[in-house]
């Protein structure tokens, strides 16, 4: 029976020759991930179930990133519980202040995840790692607890939608504009419990940062996972980085897909997701004069090096508009350091922006940029639900780093021009 790329990975990890959509399986896990919010819940369930050992100390990753450096006493207690668990079980991949980063940028950067892996994480944006040719998906903290103890998880094998990419992105667009365009087309439940598989000659023109961004927001279309084929771009990124040898899976030529959607990358335009759902998308050029109070450039969606480079090109030698708070958050300590060494941080500060240590911070309304009633923010984050970044009467507009940085200079949502 022909299988999609996702189905092949799941079959291999379930020890089966083949699987089909809708089938329930138990699969071996390569990595189990948690953060400072979800890990404490998992630890409590781990203990409640009577487990006293993890299945493999080298296959568990705990990243303190949401409220770290700790914003209050509760956050400090949660982090303390994570530290104690990681220490007592000798967890190899434990990332704390000084070496941590936003989890879904950090794990690929550090080579903890690789092509062919089967990964679960107690965070919905775990689907990011499909950019590397892995199956990765978000789960609840109870599943994380079971995964840490047994090294397995159960799945219902997803059906798939094929996204056939052609052409090449215009200079003022990036992967963020691609995924916002797709979500606008199919809706927030358009790929519900399905695999979003990206194929076609256009894939080769997308950078790894573009692909990571696209897979990161697969969940915003309701998908179980997003995944890209392994090509030279993937292998170039993984070389000298992966802890384990990458395993390459390819979809069968006659694999069954629920539908195929053609995406011409050359036709993509700078796109905005307006409040209060990611599917509420519009071309930036059509929004008119929407005044903003805050700009956030960062998150697990768009805090990577290419995003910092884009912000630098636009902000360098310019000034953030009066009345606008511009917050820039490099996604990992390595990216932060690279920004320092390249002079980006100085340029950001000279432009009137502030730069934070890696943290999820404002994305989930945690800290480092909470909105008051009536305030608007344009952000490179992934969700714009009611109250997502603060007061229920605030508004969040999702955009690419180019659009966000350009808007920081004008004080209004503004379409970016040439950025490369």
Give the model's pLDDT for residue 420. Answer: 44
How many domains are there within the chain?
2
The answer to the question of residue 419 being in a domain is: no
The answer to the question of residue 18 being in a domain is: yes
Residues 257 and 377 reside in one and the same domain: no
Residues 249 and 301 reside in one and the same domain: no
Give the model's pLDDT for residue 288. Answer: 83
CATH at residue 239: 3.30.499.10
The answer to the question of residue 11 being in a domain is: yes
Give the model's pLDDT for residue 417. Answer: 85
- Among 264, 290, 324, residue at a domain's last position: 264
- Among 204, 237, 264, residue at a domain's last position: 264
Give the model's pLDDT for residue 329. Answer: 98
Residues 394 and 248 reside in one and the same domain: no
- Mean pLDDT per 10-residue segment, the chain (420 residues): 95 97 97 97 96 97 95 96 97 94 97 98 97 97 97 97 97 96 96 96 97 98 98 96 95 95 97 96 93 98 97 97 98 97 98 96 93 98 94 97 97 81
Residues 320 and 343 reside in one and the same domain: yes
Residues 86 and 203 reside in one and the same domain: yes
Residues 184 and 36 reside in one and the same domain: yes
- Among 221, 236, 264, residue at a domain's last position: 264
The DSSP bridge pattern shows strands 395-398 and 376-379 to be parallel
CB 39 within 8 A of CB 62: yes
The DSSP bridge pattern shows strands 194-199 and 159-166 to be parallel
Give the model's pLDDT for residue 418. Answer: 60
The answer to the question of residue 417 being in a domain is: no
Residues 235 and 350 reside in one and the same domain: no
Residues 288 and 377 reside in one and the same domain: yes
Distance set, CA 358 to CA 79, 99, 103, 171 (Å): 16, 9, 10, 27
Residues 83 and 106 reside in one and the same domain: yes
The answer to the question of residue 334 being in a domain is: yes
The answer to the question of residue 169 being in a domain is: yes
Which two three-digit tokens encode residue 277? 């759902």
The answer to the question of residue 420 being in a domain is: no
The DSSP bridge pattern shows strands 259-264 and 325-328 to be unpaired
Tell me which residue range forms the domain holding 342.
Answer: 273-410
CA distance 39 to 251: 34
Residues 30 and 173 reside in one and the same domain: yes
pTM listed for this prediction: 0.95
CA distance 137 to 140: 10
Q: Rg of the chain over CA atoms, in angstroms?
A: 20
> In angstroms, how far is CA 139 from the centroid of its own chain?
15
Residues 17 and 102 reside in one and the same domain: yes
Question: What region does 164 belong to: left with phi over 0, alpha with psi -120 to 50, or beta?
Answer: beta
Residues 115 and 197 reside in one and the same domain: yes
């Amino acid at each position: 029976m022909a299988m999609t790329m996702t189905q092949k990975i799941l079959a291999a990890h379930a020890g089966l020759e083949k699987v089909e959509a809708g089938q329930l399986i138990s699969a071996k896990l390569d990595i189990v991930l948690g953060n400072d919010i979800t890990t404490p819940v998992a630890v409590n369930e781990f203990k409640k179930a009577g487990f006293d050992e993890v299945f493999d100390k080298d296959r568990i990753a705990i990243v303190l990133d949401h409220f770290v450096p700790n914003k209050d006493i509760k956050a400090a207690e949660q982090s303390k519980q994570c530290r104690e668990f990681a220490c007592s079980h000798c967890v190899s991949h434990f990332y704390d202040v000084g070496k941590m980063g936003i989890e879904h940028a950090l794990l690929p950067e550090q080579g903890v995840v690789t092509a062919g892996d089967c990964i679960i994480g107690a965070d919905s944006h775990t689907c990011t790692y499909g950019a590397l040719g892995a199956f990765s998906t978000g789960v609840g903290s109870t599943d994380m607890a079971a995964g840490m103890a047994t090294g397995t998880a159960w799945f219902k094998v997803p059906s798939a939608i094929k996204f056939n990419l052609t052409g090449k992105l215009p200079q003022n667009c990036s992967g963020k504009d691609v995924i916002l365009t797709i979500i606008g087309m199919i809706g927030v439940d358009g790929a519900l419990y399905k695999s979003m598989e990206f194929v076609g000659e256009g894939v080769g023109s997308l950078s790894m940062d573009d692909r990571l961004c696209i897979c990161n927001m697969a969940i915003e279309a309701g998908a179980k996972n997003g995944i890209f084929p392994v090509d030279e771009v993937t292998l170039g990124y993984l070389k000298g980085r992966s802890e384990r040898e990458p395993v390459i899976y390819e979809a069968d030529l006659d694999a069954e897909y629920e539908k195929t959607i053609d995406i011409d990358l050359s036709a993509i335009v700078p796109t905005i997701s307006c409040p209060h759902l990611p599917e509420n998308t519009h071309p930036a050029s059509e929004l008119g004069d929407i005044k903003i109070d805050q700009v956030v450039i960062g998150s697990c969606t768009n805090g990577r090096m290419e995003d910092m480079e884009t912000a630098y090109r636009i902000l360098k030698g310019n000034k953030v508009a009066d009345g606008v708070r511009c917050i820039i958050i490099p996604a990992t300590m390595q990216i932060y350091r690279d920004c320092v060494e390249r002079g980006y941080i100085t340029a950001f500060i000279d432009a009137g922006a502030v730069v934070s240590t890696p943290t999820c911070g404002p994305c989930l309304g945690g800290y480092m940029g909470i909105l008051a009633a009536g305030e608007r923010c344009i952000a490179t984050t992934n969700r714009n639900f009611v109250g997502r970044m603060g007061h229920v009467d605030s508004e969040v507009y999702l955009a690419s780093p180019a659009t966000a940085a350009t808007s920081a200079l004008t004080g209004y949502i503004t379409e970016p021009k040439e950025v490369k």
